[in-house]
Amino acid sequence: MIYSLIGYYSLIFGLIFGLFLFYLSYKNFKNSILLDNKIIVFSFLQFFFVIISFLSLIFSFVVSDFSNVTVFNNSHTTKPLFYKISGTWGNHEGSLLLWLLVLTLFIFIFLVRAKNQSVKYRILTLVFQQVIIIGFFIFLIKTSNPFNYLFPIPNEGLGLNPILQDPALAIHPPILYLGYVGSSIIFSSVLAATTLKMISSSWASHIKKWVLISWIFLTLGILLGSIWAYYELGWGGFWFWDPVENVSLMPWLALTTLLHCILVLEKKSVLTSWVIILSIATFTLSMCGTFLVRSGILNSVHTFANDPERGLFILIFLFVLIFLSVFIFFLFHKDDGRNSYNFFWMSKETSILLNNWFMMYFLSVVLIGTVYPIFLDVISSQKISVGPPFYHKLLIPFLIPFLLMMAIGPKLKWIKSNLDDKLYLISLFIISILLAFVILKNFSQNILINTILISSALYLFFITLRDFFVKKYKKISQNIAHFGFSLLILSILFNNLFSSEIITNLKVGETFENSETKIVFESINQKKEKNYNSIVANFNIQNSKGEEDTFSPELRIYNQPVIATSEADIKTTLMSDKFIVINIVQNQDFFNVRYQVKPFMMWIWLSVILISIGGVISFYKK
């Protein structure tokens, strides 16, 4: 109980310091020769009290303080310590407190690190950030208090959803939030810079670091979520176009586009409108994700809350931020003629602009596919599900020119360029088409579209691979990121085209056999862990080449809450994964068995890590 009191009053103090920061900012803005040291001190104190509040919630989980409603709803005495701690942010209230922690951390670091920037700019950025922070303080205290008291105090809690009790998902939210919430600094900064009419190359160099930080963490956060979905949900895939997956992908698409625009603005004072709009859009999409996940509108394994009051608060708050952004954009941003439409058709600027439009198209498709079912349900009470076929049909045709532009664009020069001396571009393109045709000849019916698609990915792969040897360390961060992206697309394509799956029902001792695979269900045994009991099935699987593997997938029955989950057994090699999962068939004495061979799974994870490494190198590069 003492931890809850400390945590709650720390939130109150944090809110009070936020109001003090408004007052100090107003005073200092009028006399802005030097930044008042009290502003940095108060910003630190605000961050400090949010840390105290967050640690109080962690301690409440660790000691199983069931007088705290949040702990009671999301913990249990038998839960391992690691999952007690990660349970802190594995719920609605705790995750929002984590949001607030990152918001206050980032603005404090910004004030300390941006000493070479003008005082008015730093103060205005602080003011806009405090609007967001105070909004979250009020939201937490009024509708989502993590420290509500429960009496009489129960002896046990309700436990944490078992599928959230996983190492990858335990660290997935904090890393994802560093990307999500990092976009708030970009949002606040761009509003301040627009108000002061200081969107310029020097400002782009300053804000680029923050864009990169957000982009790197968001990329890694999405990767961890995909890895978790792959082995924990038992579906055998890494991306399902689940609405909450889309909610994290949309800010990433906007942030990636913004990063390229910032790089252009840093070199040449153009694309200023793009930079402002994308900075606003990135944070708006992050906030939209918060609304969709926490309002109960979406149906997903990821969603936390089902409270209309919470959803309404976030929606109103979101509209206030959007209105404020649009008002500042139209009032203070004047296009001085240095716009993006005067570029020569063959130049680096044009290629980046075209890729921006492609990225905006991809973003629009994902946004419509995510939001349209919600609006249809509200308007007509008709429920529909938008699945992979919708996204594949709309995205794949435009992915081809996008990949080609990614390959050719970096070879172009600023202002004006030509490709007269770039014979290797044509040679590699022909090689890519021939190689794709040979690969697909005996495997695919839709040979035309798949050949073109794989050719485009191979082309980008070969171009970026060549640059490593020819340009060596020149533009290494760009080369690594683009190479990683080409590897990602190729791995996904090969994974989809060449995967195989067997779904069958088997009793213990039975065998399934076809021309390629023999599955023997040898035995089952039981084991008991601290917070669950499990049934372990033992399989022997042999392929047509005589290679033999043993697998032991599990069915786990957790004690609190009482939920059964399927735990896949995966044999991973450099070239493919062998994936098996079992499920109980109700009122039957056999098990449903799903066995998959998934080529290039390892390369999907490695390619995203390569993309992130490209961002990290760019962050440290002078």
Q: Does some domain include residue 495?
A: no
Q: Per residue in 513-531, pLDDT tens?
A: 988 899 999 999 998 887 7
Per-residue model confidence (pLDDT) at position 419: 63
Structure tokens at 57: 């919630």
Range of the domain at 51: 1-165
Q: Does some domain include residue 407?
A: no
Residues 335-351, mean pLDDT to the nearest whole number = 64
Cα(225)–Cα(177) distance, integer angstroms = 12
Structure tokens at 602: 């390892």
Q: Kindly report which listed range (1-10, 196-205, 256-265, 556-565) carries the lowest average pLDDT score.
A: 556-565
Q: Which residue is it, tokens 């349209």?
A: 372
> What's the Cα-to-Cα distance from 279 to each of 58, 183, 282, 520, rounded to whole Å?
33, 8, 5, 55
Q: For residue 240, what pLDDT band results from cuts at 50, 70 and 90?
A: confident
Judgement on whether residues 173 and 158 belong to the same structural domain of the protein: no
Q: Does some domain include residue 446?
A: no
Collapsed DSSP state (helix, strand, coil) of residue 465: helix
> What's the Cα-to-Cα distance from 494 to each of 196, 387, 451, 461, rounded to whole Å?
50, 20, 12, 14
Q: Does some domain include residue 485?
A: no
Judgement on whether residues 185 and 284 belong to the same structural domain of the protein: yes
Which of the listed residues 143, 165, 187 is the one where a domain comes to its end?
165
Helix (H) / strand (E) element for 394: namely: helix 388-408
**Longest Cα–Cα distance in the chain:** 83
Q: Which amino acid is at 424?
A: Y
pTM here? 0.91
Q: Per residue in 430-482, pLDDT tens?
A: 999 999 988 887 776 567 788 899 999 999 999 998 888 887 667 888 889 99
Which of the listed residues 107, 141, 165 is the one where a domain comes to its end?
165
Judgement on whether residues 10 and 26 belong to the same structural domain of the protein: yes
Q: Per residue in 268-295, pLDDT tens?
A: 878 889 999 999 999 999 988 777 776 5
- For the cut 80, the answer to whether the pLDDT of residue 145 exceeds it is yes
Q: Does some domain include residue 620?
A: no
Task: Return left, alpha or beta for 499; rule: phi > 0 is left, psi -120 to 50 is alpha, else beta.
Answer: beta
Judgement on whether residues 215 and 357 belong to the same structural domain of the protein: yes
Structure tokens at 59: 């301690």
Q: Does some domain include residue 45?
A: yes
- For the cut 90, the answer to whether the pLDDT of residue 577 exceeds it is yes
Structure tokens at 78: 């038998």
Per-residue model confidence (pLDDT) at position 340: 44
Q: Per residue in 484-496, pLDDT tens?
A: 999 999 999 999 8
Mean residue pLDDT of the chain comes to 87
Cα(239)–Cα(220) distance, integer angstroms = 15
Judgement on whether residues 234 and 151 belong to the same structural domain of the protein: no
Q: Kindly report which listed range (194-208, 366-380, 538-552) carries the lowest average pLDDT score.
A: 366-380
Contact between 206 and 118 under an 8 Å Cβ cutoff? The reply is no
Q: Which residue is it, tokens 């689940």?
A: 242
Task: Return left, alpha or beta for 412; rule: phi > 0 is left, psi -120 to 50 is alpha, else beta.
Answer: beta
The alpha carbon of 239 is separated from its chain's Cα centroid by a whole number of angstroms, namely 12
Per-residue model confidence (pLDDT) at position 294: 62
Q: Does some domain include residue 619?
A: no
Judgement on whether residues 174 and 280 belong to the same structural domain of the protein: yes
Judgement on whether residues 260 and 148 belong to the same structural domain of the protein: no
Which of the listed residues 106, 140, 165 is the one where a domain comes to its end?
165
The alpha helices in 37-158, defined as continuous H runs, are 37-62, 69-74, 81-86, 92-113, 119-143
Judgement on whether residues 217 and 352 belong to the same structural domain of the protein: yes
Q: Per residue in 186-237, pLDDT tens?
A: 999 999 999 999 999 999 999 999 999 999 999 999 999 999 889 887 677 8
Q: Per residue in 112-138, pLDDT tens?
A: 998 888 899 999 999 999 999 999 999
Per-residue model confidence (pLDDT) at position 13: 96
Judgement on whether residues 293 and 144 belong to the same structural domain of the protein: no
Total structural domains in the chain?
3
Judgement on whether residues 134 and 190 belong to the same structural domain of the protein: no
Collapsed DSSP state (helix, strand, coil) of residue 346: coil
Judgement on whether residues 174 and 153 belong to the same structural domain of the protein: no
Q: Which amino acid is at 350?
A: T
Judgement on whether residues 274 and 314 belong to the same structural domain of the protein: yes
Q: Does some domain include residue 585?
A: yes
Q: Is the dihedral of CA 5, 175, 287, 85 positive or negative?
A: negative
Per-residue model confidence (pLDDT) at position 160: 77
Collapsed DSSP state (helix, strand, coil) of residue 511: strand
Contacts of 284 (CB under 8 A, 6+ apart): 187, 318, 321, 322, 325
Contact between 343 and 268 under an 8 Å Cβ cutoff? The reply is no
Angle, helices 243-267 vs 201-232, to 10°: value is 160
Comparing C-alpha atoms, which of 213, 193, 195 is closest to residue 203?
Answer: 193
Backbone angles phi, psi at 550, to 5 degrees: -110, 140
Q: For residue 345, what pLDDT band results from cuts at 50, 70 and 90?
A: low
